[in-house]
Amino acid sequence: MTTEVDRTGTGPLLLGVRHHGPGSARAVRAALDAARPRAVLIEGPPEADALIPLAADEHMRPPVALLAHAVDEPGRSAFWPLAEFSPEWVAIRWALDHGVPARFIDLPATHTLAWEKEEPAEEAPSEESSSEEAPSEGAPAEAEPAEAEPPDEEPSDVRIDPLAVLADAAGYDDAERWWEDVVEHRGVGAEDPLAPFAVLAEAMMALREVYGSGGHDRDLVREAYMRLQIRAAQKEFGDEVAVVCGAWHVPALSERITVAADRARLKGLPKVKADMTWVPWTNRRLARASGYGAGIDSPGWYGHLFRAMDRPVERWLTKVAGLLRAEDRIVSSAHVIEAVRLAETLAVMRGRPLPGLGETTDAVRAVMCDGSDVPLALVHDRLVVGDALGEVPPDAPAVPLQRDLDRTQRRLRLKPEALERELELDLRKETDAARSRLLHRLRLLGVPWGEPVASRGSTGTFRETWRLRWEPELSVRIAEAGVWGTTVLAAAIAKSEADAVGAQALAEVTALAERCLLAELPDALPTVMRVLADRAALDTDVGHLAQALPALVRSLRYGDVRGTDTGALAEVAAGLAERIFVGLPPACAGLDADAAEEIRRHVDAVHGAVGLLGDAPAPGHGDLRARWRAVLKVLSVRDTVPGVIRGRAVRLLLDEGELEPDEAARLMGLVLSPGTPPGDAAAWIEGFVGGGSGGGMLLVHDERLLGLVDAWLTGVPAEAFTDVLPLLRRTFSAYEPGVRRTLGELVRRGPGQRGGTAATGVGVPGFAAELDQERAAAVLPVVRLLLGLETDDVELVGVAR
């Protein structure tokens, strides 16, 4: 292949750049100021030409990205991110500021998206493999095909990184450091602003003579389309046209290839209908570590280099000092001065023209962080990468669902932010309740802007805590969800109904019902409840029913807090509970250890659910709590039920006051008798005092039970002890350290010396044998205050209980 870069002043001005390179951006601005072209052509999807004027809007704040998505498949999308230091962004702004037409000339997105659909296994070029190419770049407006054949050329299958090759030739082992030295740290030549582009084009031409397309086969198609667009612009504006593109493409765009050959290469390209818009982007998405390789590891640092033309190192280290001071680290002006000196010294020792990110980072670590990488990680996160989130004008094209979300966000004063933050909501306040509804509805739509987390300091159902973080990919999720409706509410209702019909398991439907209540979607509940009732009627697996019941009962509580009518939900929950009551005892027979443990967890969950369900009974279903206690009594004495379940049933009955302590001690004594296999006895103990149910405190306060366990354990035969020990160890290791210490102390004292009921009759230390009326009465004013009572009719028995 013979190519020649035009240096004669005729033909288009080809400005080869590195995408997201501040040095390239400054050089582009200087070259455009010097050349004053009549039109600026930019590598990018031509469908976005109508969006270019929005770049001058006062509400536009980079980083932003052009988003293209297939109309029929919104999930099929591509991004073209731009930062303030991107050469393409600088070219766009220069053209708008000077009243010069600006156009995108890369292959249309309509072909790019179709290409990805037909060849999903082949990835589009990314900056991870070609440092001067933006990932997802690729594919703009269609050209008219001709009958001529494309040139006879075999694309290379070796994918190369041009910058890495040039860096290696210059003796660098790091392409980023080489680029900083030769481009980012040099000033724009005042005498000849076009000189940097000529040198870079010559280097790329040499590489392409050796490597051909460099393994980027699609580049040949893209370059053919760009050549056609350049020719069309030349017909309209003459040769006074500037082209801003990846440096890798410059030799190909200056190559002399016939129009017929270029059109032939474009013949038969697949296509889909595509829409485009601007979306906010983030610095973290400009970094490779985010999973989207845009070619730079340090967007915050590059943004600083672009803005700080004068004394960038001094300004950067001053900024670092300010951040560390804000985190209460002692950093003085002297630290900044010493860090600057150290960075400059390191640059000289390493043969660099100016200190780069590596030198400044080493200086910060040594001078400001006392050699620690902990504060240095904060500097990297906040400054080197940064939390910048771009903004786009409100009148930018968007799907109706996105516009409704934008309006709702403004109304609720819930602005998207790139930095992760926690949001505390009090559902008793209308604004907070509306925020909660919005976040829950978005989660139903598959837009996880917020993630629910445990609330600190409150366990009330009126309190919610969310962890919020806006990611650019959520714009694609919103476009995908647009098929369900034009508003967040309508889309959430439609998708919930569809999810209910398509759910495979009963637990999925109950979880969906819970989420519908949280999102306050009463219009979706009839469909969800009908599906739930049908699935519950057909499902005979007690485990599935037990999994489904807790979510339904929680939904009743949520509905109560949000003022939602949950009558139908209560009816289904009560029916589900009755089926569990009937099916649970037979389901507990003949279980192995793993299955028994699973049923034990289901028993715990159902017990808690029935306790809550009893507060809102469904008409016609009687006293569910009493019926559940009857089921527990059956489980506690049936020999065919595994020991872990029998022990848990006894414990739950004891906690409910349905079983006297003497009877519980008798049942424990029976199971710990010599006639019971040690393994079964250990499983019973696991069910009775294990599972994180407060069993440790029960043993501390009731020494009769502790004495039974102690006596049984000391009597276990040596040959069975090794089988019993792992189960007991698992049971007691779940206790709090303080509880374990107390139990150990009580066992160490031995029978008759523990101060317990069995020994002395005076109870456990700290607990009297009878209620102290005078001390109990002292707490009555506090109890009245907590309960909001104005009278003194608080029963002392209730307080003691």
Q: Is the pLDDT of residue 231 over 90?
A: yes
List CB contacts of 666: < 8 A, sequence separation 6 or more: none
Q: Is the pLDDT of residue 282 over 90?
A: no
Instruction: Answer whether residue 479 is part of any domain.
Output: yes
List CB contacts of 213: < 8 A, sequence separation 6 or more: 155, 156, 219, 220
Instruction: Answer whether residue 533 is part of any domain.
Output: no
Q: Do residue 150 and residue 265 come from a single domain?
A: yes
Using the 3D structure, point to which of 351, 385, 419 is the last residue of a domain. Answer: 385
Q: Do residue 600 and residue 649 come from a single domain?
A: yes
Q: Do residue 359 and residue 418 come from a single domain?
A: no
pLDDT tens digits, residue range 130-188? 333 333 333 333 333 333 333 444 444 445 677 777 777 777 777 777 777 776 666 54
CA distance 139 to 20: 19
89 or 535: which leads in pLDDT: 89
Q: Do residue 616 and residue 736 come from a single domain?
A: yes
pLDDT tens digits, residue range 415-448? 888 778 889 888 888 899 899 999 999 999 999 9
Mean pLDDT on 312-331? 92
DSSP letter for each residue of 657-726 = TSS-HHHHHHHHHHHTSTTS-HHHHHHHHHHHH-TTSSHHHHHHH-HHHHHHHHHHHHTS-HHHHHHHHH
Q: Is the pLDDT of residue 764 over 50?
A: no
What is the pLDDT at residue 295? 57
Q: Do residue 632 and residue 706 come from a single domain?
A: yes
Mean pLDDT on 730-751? 74
Domain count, the chain: 5
Instruction: Answer whether residue 534 is part of any domain.
Output: no
Q: Do residue 246 and residue 103 come from a single domain?
A: yes
CA distance 274 to 138: 14
What is the pLDDT at residue 42? 95
List CB contacts of 287: < 8 A, sequence separation 6 or more: 294, 296, 297, 298, 299, 385
- The H or E element containing residue 452 is strand 450-453
Q: Do residue 719 and residue 778 come from a single domain?
A: no
Domain of residue 799, residue span: 771-801
Secondary structure percentages of the chain, helix, strand, coil, to 5: 55, 5, 35
Q: Do residue 381 and residue 410 come from a single domain?
A: no
pLDDT tens digits, residue range 96-139? 999 999 999 999 999 988 876 555 433 333 333 333 333 333 33
Q: Do residue 262 and residue 323 come from a single domain?
A: no
State the Cα torsion 502-507-512-518 to the nearest 10°. 180
Share of the chain above pLDDT 70, in %: 81
How many Å separate Cα 554 from the centre of its chain? 25
Q: Do residue 130 and residue 225 come from a single domain?
A: yes
Using the 3D structure, point to which of 362, 385, 408 is the last residue of a domain. Answer: 385
Q: Is the pLDDT of residue 626 over 50?
A: yes
Instruction: Answer whether residue 21 is part of any domain.
Output: yes
**The dihedral sign for the CA sequence 178, 182, 187, 192:** negative
**The dihedral sign for the CA sequence 88, 160, 359, 388:** positive
Using the 3D structure, point to which of 318, 351, 385 is the last residue of a domain. Answer: 385
Asked whether the beta carbons of 255 and 42 are under 8 A apart, the reply is: no
Instruction: Answer whether residue 285 is part of any domain.
Output: no
Q: Do residue 571 and residue 654 come from a single domain?
A: yes
Instruction: Answer whether residue 525 is part of any domain.
Output: no
Q: Is the pLDDT of residue 490 over 80?
A: yes
Instruction: Answer whether residue 390 is part of any domain.
Output: no
pLDDT tens digits, residue range 344-363? 999 899 888 888 888 999 99
Q: Do residue 428 and residue 449 come from a single domain?
A: yes
Q: Please identify which residue in the block is written with the tokens 């976005």.
A: 48
Instruction: Answer whether residue 263 is part of any domain.
Output: yes
